[in-house]
């Protein structure tokens, strides 16, 4: 009887956690639109090149969510507004990111508090990037999808679920170019685990798939204004030299990124220690093609930072708990 009561309490606790997660995701989705300067008027027409008068490159390549909303609006939920569909999809992608991060946390950390701190930390750090930042208060349809697909991609990489991973990698590349950093995550976390031949083969396959998607999108939208990317290194260099701009860097990840160098050595799990290094190519790439103070560009790294911080701050207590289990 006591065991059944304990099981029922655990199931009830899990249900409450999921209810809370969905509620937090819905609030974040609402706030992301309400407190940012764009829910673009006529978003179906001028986001991601949905019609010939659409967005400039490279925004024209981020077609996944706008195309999906257009399809649902015209063929399934015809009475719904595009805004409501964007909100529902936003919420769904945030919940997917939470689910994937919670899976990773459950596999990495023994104590329930560590799993909860890591997974629910998503709702503390994402607003720093998508709601609180006022330097570039932009709303884009693909942002939450990028966080969700990147986080789920990490779980698939860790478990070598290659068929699903490559499907997600292809779909995600129609959403945002940052899927290429999943390849860096694979490189860093598998360097000591995979044979060099297998590692090279997967990296080559991922690069070929990524470039194929980009070539196809560029062919479809080659008449759009703009270029393949918008160079930002001059603006980023000026921001680094301007003390006033550092308030945006401090706000990134709620300022928790500044603790990473100090807790890195305390990370016991090798996979998370290796994963942290994906920050380096991500930051280097964004220095060239993204505005560093536009904090939304760092969204995909939020799960990485949460895993690393939880592992580092928990340190030996997490390792001891896993050993005892």
* Per-residue confidence band for 34, with pLDDT thresholds at 50, 70 and 90: confident
Nearest by Cα to 101 from 115, 86, 83, 82: 115
* Per-residue confidence band for 44, with pLDDT thresholds at 50, 70 and 90: low
Whats the size of the chain, residue-wise? 325
Look at residue 126 and tell me whether its pLDDT is greater than 80: yes
* Per-residue confidence band for 48, with pLDDT thresholds at 50, 70 and 90: very low
Residue 63 has a pLDDT of 85
Tokens for 299?
């969204």
* Per-residue confidence band for 124, with pLDDT thresholds at 50, 70 and 90: very high
Tokens 């399934």: give the residue: 76
* Per-residue confidence band for 230, with pLDDT thresholds at 50, 70 and 90: confident
* Per-residue confidence band for 165, with pLDDT thresholds at 50, 70 and 90: very high
Query: φ, ψ for residue 226 (rounded to 5)?
Result: 95, -165
Residue 49 has a pLDDT of 41
* Per-residue confidence band for 258, with pLDDT thresholds at 50, 70 and 90: very high
Helix, coil or strand: residue 55 = coil
Higher pLDDT, 64 or 222: 64
Distance in angstroms (rounded) separating the CA atoms of residues 15 and 28? 20
Query: φ, ψ for residue 54 (rounded to 5)?
Result: -75, -160
* Per-residue confidence band for 29, with pLDDT thresholds at 50, 70 and 90: very high
What are the pLDDT digits (tens) for 178-229? 999 999 999 999 999 899 999 999 999 999 999 999 999 888 777 665 555 6
Point out the least confidently predicted range of 95-99, 215-219, 318-322: 318-322
Tokens for 8?
């029922």
Across the chain, what does the average pLDDT equal? 87
Point out the least confidently predicted range of 26-30, 66-70, 201-205, 305-309: 66-70
Query: φ, ψ for residue 322 (rounded to 5)?
Result: -65, -40
Q: What mean pLDDT is predicted for residues 272-292?
A: 96
Residue 207 near residue 170, CB atoms below 8 Å = no
Residue 48 near residue 67, CB atoms below 8 Å = yes
pTM over 0.75, yes/no: yes
Residue 38 has a pLDDT of 64
Helix, coil or strand: residue 226 = strand
Residue 8 has a pLDDT of 55
Point out the least confidently predicted range of 46-60, 75-89, 91-105, 269-283: 46-60
Residue 62 has a pLDDT of 85
What are the pLDDT digits (tens) for 6-20? 555 557 778 999 999
Q: What mean pLDDT is predicted for residues 47-70?
A: 68
Helix, coil or strand: residue 232 = coil
Look at residue 110 and tell me whether its pLDDT is greater than 90: no
Distance in angstroms (rounded) separating the CA atoms of residues 150 and 97? 8
């Amino acid at each position: 009887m006591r065991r059944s009561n304990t099981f029922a309490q655990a199931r009830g606790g899990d249900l409450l956690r999921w209810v809370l997660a969905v509620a937090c995701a819905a609030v974040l989705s609402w706030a992301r639109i309400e407190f940012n300067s764009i829910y673009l008027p006529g978003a179906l027409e001028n986001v991601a090149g949905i019609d010939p008068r659409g967005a400039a490159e490279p925004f024209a390549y981020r077609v996944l969510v706008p195309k999906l909303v257009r399809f649902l609006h015209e063929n399934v939920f015809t009475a719904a507004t595009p805004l409501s569909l964007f909100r529902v999809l936003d919420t769904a992608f945030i919940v997917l990111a939470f689910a994937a991060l919670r899976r990773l946390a459950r596999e990495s950390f023994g104590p329930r508090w560590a799993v909860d701190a890591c997974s629910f930390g998503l709702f503390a750090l994402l607003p720093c990037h998508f709601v609180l930042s006022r330097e570039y208060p932009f709303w884009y349809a693909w942002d939450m999808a990028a966080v969700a697909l990147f986080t789920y991609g990490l779980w698939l990489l860790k478990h070598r679920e290659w068929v699903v991973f490559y499907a997600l990698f292809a779909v995600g590349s129609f959403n945002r170019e940052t899927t290429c950093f999943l390849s860096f995550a694979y490189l860093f976390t598998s360097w000591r685990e995979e044979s060099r031949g297998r590692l090279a083969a997967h990296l080559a396959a991922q690069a070929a798939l990524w470039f194929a998607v980009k070539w196809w999108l560029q062919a479809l939208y080659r008449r759009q204004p703009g270029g393949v990317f918008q160079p930002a290194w001059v603006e980023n260099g000026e921001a680094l030299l301007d003390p006033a701009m550092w308030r945006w860097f401090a706000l990134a990840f709620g300022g928790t990124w500044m603790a990473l160098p100090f807790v890195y050595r305390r990370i016991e799990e090798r996979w998370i220690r290796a994963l942290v290094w994906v920050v380096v190519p991500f930051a280097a790439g964004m220095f060239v093609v993204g505005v560093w103070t536009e904090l939304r560009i760092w969204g995909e790294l939020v799960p990485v930072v949460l895993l690393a911080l939880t592992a580092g701050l928990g340190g030996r207590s997490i390792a001891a708990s896993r050993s005892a289990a």
